[in-house]
Amino acid sequence: MNTTILIGAFAFWLAAWALNSWLAVQRPANVAAQRAIDLFVPVLFGVTLLVLWEGLARGFNIPTVLLPPPSLVWERILASSHILWADFQQTFLKAVLAGYAMGCGAGFLVAIAVDRSPFLKRGLLPLGNFVSALPIIGIAPIMVMWFGFGWESKAAVVIVMTFFPMLVNTVEGLQASSAIDRDLMRTYAASYWQTLFRLKLPAASPFIFNALKINSTLALIGAIVAEFFGTPIVGMGFRISAEVGRMNIDMVWASIAVAALAGSLFYGVVALIERAVTFWHPSVRGG
């Protein structure tokens, strides 16, 4: 046991905690300083977690097959970046993006079709809500059987997983415009498509983006878990399960770091687009 490292880590933790508590109750006059604090506090919290992890792993001499310290994981990321990049291409750029686009697109189009028929709306909404709560991930072995080991089967899982949240949210969103607005469109003699594009879709966009955000994490999970059921020798899910078997835990953490980064960026990009598109919505407008 290395006491100096342990004490250092704990001292850093306490100092960071004190600084954070102090910063959190500050109310600076200008907006820029407040923004900087709002950004700095969570970053410091994250850094503290990493320092604690590093300190505990090194201080207690935890075997690296159980919990490698972050510095080791970082070295591994640098050393095998070409493998991680190949995995990222296979899983994210092929399976996730293709499946996400097709699943969300299909859900969106079906929702618009369903919205025209009150009968389908009554019947499909409860079913869609029901299916969204099911462990859809279980279809992964079936998809692997049908579409083979390549990225196509993973994209198929992603399509099914992303379809229902998109369907349910879009159908709900298309009902979000108020009756008085729809009546106004009728007094303008607006056609169905004009009403759809000028009124219903803009009113539905907060719901649609909600589904897009939910789906961005679902898609990554679906693709990675589907790879557990059979895959060519590349892909993030394959890497994780294979390296766990060989007890190369630092490589597993490296893959996870890439997956986490990809997931966060994906979510962040969708959230940014949402801010740009639904700038009028109270949740975006009111700071």
Partner 1 sequence: MSATTPIAAPGSGSGYRPEAGLTERFLASKAFAVSVIVLAIIAAWYAFAVHMNTQWQIDIYNRGNVEWTTTDLVRDTLNQARPVLPAPHQVAVEIWNTTVMMDPTSRRSLIYHAWITLSATLLGFVIGTLLGVSLAVGIVHSRAMDKSVMPWVIASQTIPILAIAPMIIVVLNAIGITGLLPKALISTYLAFFPVAVGMVKGLRSPELLQLDLLRTYSASRWQAFWKLRWPSSVPFLFTSMKVAIAISLVGAIVGELPTGAVAGLGARLLAGSYYGQTVQIWSALFVAAAMAAVLVALVGLVQRIVLKRMGQAA
Which residue in 93, 264, 269, 273 binds partner 1 (CB under 8 A)? 264
Span of 2-10, 99-107, 152-160, 261-269 interacting with partner 1 by CB under 8 A: 261-269
Q: Which of residues 119-178 bind partner 1 (CB under 8 A)?
A: 119-120, 122-124, 126-127, 130, 133-135, 137-142, 144-146
Q: How far is CA 188 from the centre of its chain?
A: 41
Query: Which C-beta is closer to partner 1: that of 151 or that of 253?
Result: 253
Position 28 contacts partner 1 (CB under 8 A) = no
Position 241 contacts partner 1 (CB under 8 A) = yes
Span of 152-160, 163-171, 258-266, 276-284 interacting with partner 1 by CB under 8 A: 258-266
Best CA proximity match to 223, nearest among 162, 264, 132: 162
> Rounded to whole angstroms, what are the CA distances from 265 to 59, 217, 229, 233, 256?
33, 10, 26, 25, 14
Position 99 contacts partner 1 (CB under 8 A) = no
Structure tokens at 179: 């009756």
Distance CA 96, CA 219 (A): 6
Q: Where are the alpha helices (DSSP H) in the chain?
A: 3-24, 31-59, 70-79, 81-88, 97-115, 118-132, 140-147, 151-174, 179-187, 192-195, 201-227, 236-245, 249-277, 282-285
Q: How far is the CB of 178 from partner 1 (least distance, A)?
A: 11
Contact present, 139 and 258 (Cβ < 8 Å) = no
Give contact residues for partner 1 (rule: CB under 8 A): 17, 20-21, 23-25, 37-38, 41-42, 44-46, 49, 65-67, 118-120, 122-124, 126-127, 130, 133-135, 137-142, 144-146, 179, 182-183, 186, 195, 217, 220-221, 224-225, 228-230, 236-237, 240-241, 244, 249, 252-253, 256, 259-260, 263-264, 266-267
